[in-house]
Structure formats: C-alpha cells, structure tokens
Amino acid sequence: MKKTAIFAKVHDPRCLVVAEDLIRWFRAREITPLVQEHLACRLSQPELAVCLSGEQIAEAADLVLVLGGDGTLISAARHVGGREVPILGVNLGSLGFLTEIPLSEMYPALERCLSGDFEVSERMMLQVSLERQGREIELHRVLNDVVINKGALARIIDMETVVDGQYLTTFKADGLIVSTPTGSTGYSLSANGPIIHPDLECVSLTPICPHTLTNRPLVMSGDVTIGITLKSTHEDVFLTLDGQTGVRLVCGDLLQIRKAQQRTRLVRSTSKDYYEVLRTKLKWGER
C-alpha cells in the first residue's frame, strides 16, 4: 500500500492532532498521505500531504483511514465505495458501530494493514435511483439507509410500495426507512426496526409512525428491487441518503432501490467482535 487517504472530523481538534501525527508516520514509511482540501487547510504542514478531491482520492487510495465517528466513516464510504478500498475506522469519541477501533489500537492496526495481515467485514450497499416524469434525476449509493420523511408541518404521506414488481401496500405514515444490515442500528432502530447482523444479505423496510399499527417492519432478501412512488400532493416530503444528502420529492416521484454491485470493506478490530460492540453501545445487561 503506497497511498493512504485520511478522512477526519475536521471540527474536532483531537482528530487534527492525530491526522498530523499520521501524516508524518506515513511519510517516514514512504507512503503518500492523501487528504481533501477542507482537512489540508487546517494542517500546520499541509505540504506533507497530497491534497485531492474526494473523487480523486477514491481513484488513488490503497487504504482509507477514518478519524472520527460513524458519520465521518459513512461519508468516506460514499466516496470510495465504488472501488471497495479497505477502510480503517478509528473512533476518537464514544464507541461506534462502524468506527470500532480505538486510538490505542490505531498504529498496530495500520501495521497489520500495511503488511496485508488483516480481515475485513464486507458490507452490503444500496443503489438508489430517483425518477421524475420517467427520467432519472438522481443516482446514489448508500451504506446505511434511504429515508423518505415528511416536513415538520406536513400531514401523513402516502407511499405506494412494490417489491419485484408486485404490489406490497401503500404506506400511510410519517415516512419510510429502507435499510441495509449496517444501517439497522441507526435511524431504523429508533423507529423500532430490527437489528440485523451486518454479514447478512437482506434489506429492511420500516415505516415511521404508521397510521395503521399493523404496518410492521419487514425484512426481505437483498436481491429484491423496491419501488416506492410518492402519492401525496401539497406536502413537504424529503429523501435523505445516509443522513447526509437530501432531495425534495414531489408527487409522482419514483424511487428504485436495489443492492449495489459494490461493497464497503471495513477493517475488523482484533480486540472487539460485533456482539461486544452491540452489547456495549446499547448498554445491554446494565441496570
């Protein structure tokens, strides 16, 4: 690995300090550190790193190092997910579901990555197409979830949903969450969605505050294609992708959601397994 990208939570001073140390550590090993402009401009020695756009980093990096929390990692994954570059997530705050490697383990984990002695968790992603009047206007990949949500003052919205061309139902709710197993411990969980092991190949459909109490979360094969058409008029409705990109929807808009060909590859921690992270994060067993 000759080029390593660093994504950091730039508004956290701790992340900037660690990023500075990492850049020098990489340079001492003749590894080129790659950073985006918003990080480079906050470094005391920006000339030690190569400043590139997110798209250029995605093409060039052999390894991605993320400093921050799960949100920072999801942002990095959306940049590099197309190439399936290994991502090493280092958590500098509270334990994360995705950034599970603590700072104390960062350099040993990096040494393993550079020597090729590491394991990855391959995470399913979703491809999301937004069609308006028969024309595709948006195309995205997401790691966590696709959320349709009403505005603060909007009434309940109607979302006609089909699975592999077969009519499922028209959800009448505050919104709808289509989640990967990775995203099952995010917004979906707060809406009473199921916790799904990240190694599974499936997708969950969770209504937000449904008008009909019998509308329960539904788990389906990861190979299905889900079509959702907005049927409501005169309502403020938004599409949110991984909690980071938003698009206003209008009546008649059609979402086509299916499994992406690409995957996100997360470097596993050698000291924590998934169940320990789950137990610790959700405080299971505590009184």
Active site residues: 70
Give the CA dihedral 200, 203, 207, 212, nearest 10 degrees. Answer: -90
Which of 239, 269, 242 has its CA nearest to residue 125? 242
Interaxial angle between packed helices 106-115 and 13-28, expressed in degrees from 0 to 180 and rounded to the nearest 10: 40
Instruction: Specify the amino acid at residue 86.
Output: P
For 48, which DSSP code? G
